[in-house]
Structure 1
Amino acid sequence: MTPLAANDPEQVTLDKIRDAAALIKGAVLETPCLPAPRLSQITGAEVFVKYENMQVTGAFKERGALVKLASLTEAEKTRGVIAVSAGNHAQGVAYHAGRLGIPATIVMPVLTPFVKIAATRGYGAEVVLAGNTLAEAKAEADRLAAERNLVWVHPYDDVHVIHGQATIGLEMLAQQPDLDILVVPVGGGGLIAGIATAAKAIKPSVEVIGVETTLYPGMWGAFYGKEVRCEGATIAEGIAVRDIGLLTTEVVRKRVDDILLVSESSIEQAINAYLTLQRTIAEGAGAAGLAALLTNRERFAGKRVGLVLCGGNIDPRLLSKIVVRELARDGRLVSIRIDTPDRPGVLGEIATVIGDMQGNVVDVEHHRLFLNVPAKGATLDVTFEAFDRPHGERIIAALRERGYGVRYLEIGERMD
């Protein structure tokens, strides 16, 4: 038999995926895939969520990491492994290498959030901080790998890793056999390559659709033969991949039905929806699938859709900021600037108008000393809660009827 080429998609098979599932059983959580009625209501699809944020490390990456580590020879395990990651792959490798007694070195960019560095060290790995980007960190990892004779654990472009990630597809169709579409976040392509292989082998009629952020459309470009640019600060850093996998690209071209792109604002909306409607935490990459449903309602209307919530490792401060921004977008948190005469009682009058109309003042800044405020005047920046956008508009109309000049501010805007 002629050996398969390095990037031949036939390397990724259902039998090997089933072997991977047996290997990780008991060491990786078989996460639930549950109906989400409130998400169904806002998207028009019948939505089911696969909760990979429930893994020990908070993300799906454990699956592929464990399968890869288990494939090593005893000599390779003794040498130790190395990986480059700013987040979930780092923690997956560190956690399971620690369990198996394999020395692990993880190279992370120096700008990686401290919470992720601490978590990776907490699993017993040696963390090396190098460079401001993943590319610069990779250069240092290459040097260390050569110097110490370490074994690479690639985050996505490795057949063992792909087989591990593919076990999610097995589980989803076992838990919800009637799914019409699987929607999968795409970074380097390991997750969708594995899931598509498993899903198409079990149920050829099922659609597999990938989702990327518009800032990092690498797989979309490869899928459609388009020149793309991958750059920029994204809330979905887990799928912010400039260099997609070679093997994963070939699998995706053969077995995936479509790739969709989603905006940063739609990802924020999806993170907030997971938190407020499902009472669960999704990082930006984890929420990308829901973002696709929110922005392509007609495409998914009436279909039974399985979403892979692939990770929940988000900075709590960022999460709180997103919640506030979504309240503002919905018109439930309103920030305004009011020009007033500088006389006693004005602040009380304004607060009374808002309170009488069942608004709730949450923040006030009173400006008298700035040069762009009249000497006998003052400016108030007021943020208040409303039931919805029309309610907030009625409160503002009432203030204007009292003779106050009112204009909207962006949340967080302050006096120059």
Structure 2
Amino acid sequence: MSSLSQSRVLIAGGGIGGAAAALAMARKGASVTLFEKSAEFGEVGAGLQIGPHGSRMLEAWGLLDAALARGVLPGNLVFRDAVTSAELTRLNLGAEFRARYGGPYFVIHRSDLHALLIEAARAAGAELLTGQTVTDVVTEHSRAVLSTADGVAHEADVVLAMDGLKSRLRAKISDDEPVASGYVAYRGTFPMSEVPEGEGITDVVGYIGPHCHFIQYPLRGGAMLNQVAVFESDGYRQGLQEWGGPDELAHAYDHCHPTVQSATDHLWKDRWWPMYDREPIENWVDGRMILLGDAAHPPLQYLASGAVMAIEDAKCIADYAEEHLELGGVDAWDRTLAAVNAERAPRCNRILTTGRMWGELWHLDGTARIARNELFRTRDTSSYKYTDWLWAYSSDRARGARPVASSV
């Protein structure tokens, strides 16, 4: 039994990242307590795309089959022009793709993946608490002390701050604020029988166009259609305090193909998500606390890797902790946090900055759009040079991950 079994780990935040971290640490034998401010566990949103960099982690935890049973394996990633509906390019996600990356690309309802991780974390022995707001974390004599709103102080070896985009604990390291992209997302998940236009959609389809895009893919074995509409807000450009409301959605796709325009009928109109990220930061560590997940590196959604980055974080810190605590020393946890920070920050910050660039590429207009479309149409569909850095990544400490075909 590793010395990690003598460690106490506290986690602030019970989203996908927090649940994954609770599972990863509990599987290694640590005593884990997670604090979630909501009254019950749950994820707001709809569909989620999980690339092979995520499915390999789930397989290492024995959860991939259960996740696939709740999700869908799309045949392709397809890009279309939002104005003309013409196909620009596609990536086949079949056997060759899976062999190269050691795992499949799949889609799943966010709440289904979250519930799966919560169930597995509990089964591994993690204590998961709801209705607990974390107010502060301080380091005292090489011990982390986490305070909750009810005035209770909880002591541990380390605290994983995974309290999301609007992280309260990030303020202990950085005085930055979330950065508005000026774009807003609308989502909708409906039974396929209620969306006749969705019949036959078996791929992840992305319509990319001037100042907007629209994503479609099936969920829950093809029984549901998930749609995401993202567009640049006129209200944001005008400097309005409240921006991106349904009045803007009503005309955001007037310049797009009728296929896209009609699809906007099947979106939730009572909620919307202004899109924010944060500037990359190099240091995530404050004493015995480390920022992980969206608290450390909240991305825009263009590379579909936000949830996967948090899962990677979870497995990476559990593996490093096991290694360093086996070696021993009073500074084992300090070495663990430094090693995780050194490995994860460059990768995650690259995803943040590349995601911003990818969003600009999707939303080009005029001659730039024409040039982009030609590049997409003529790209070498047998080449993986633009995706290996993202999907082939594997921490050296991710011992359960399959080797991938390329070295990056």
Larger RCO (alpha carbons 8 Å, 6+ apart): 2
Higher helix share: 1
Q: Tell me which interval the TM-score lies in, with the shorter structure as reference length.
A: under 0.3
TM-score normalised by length of structure 2: 0.25
Structure having the higher Rg = 1
Alignment TM-score, normalising by the size of structure 1: 0.25
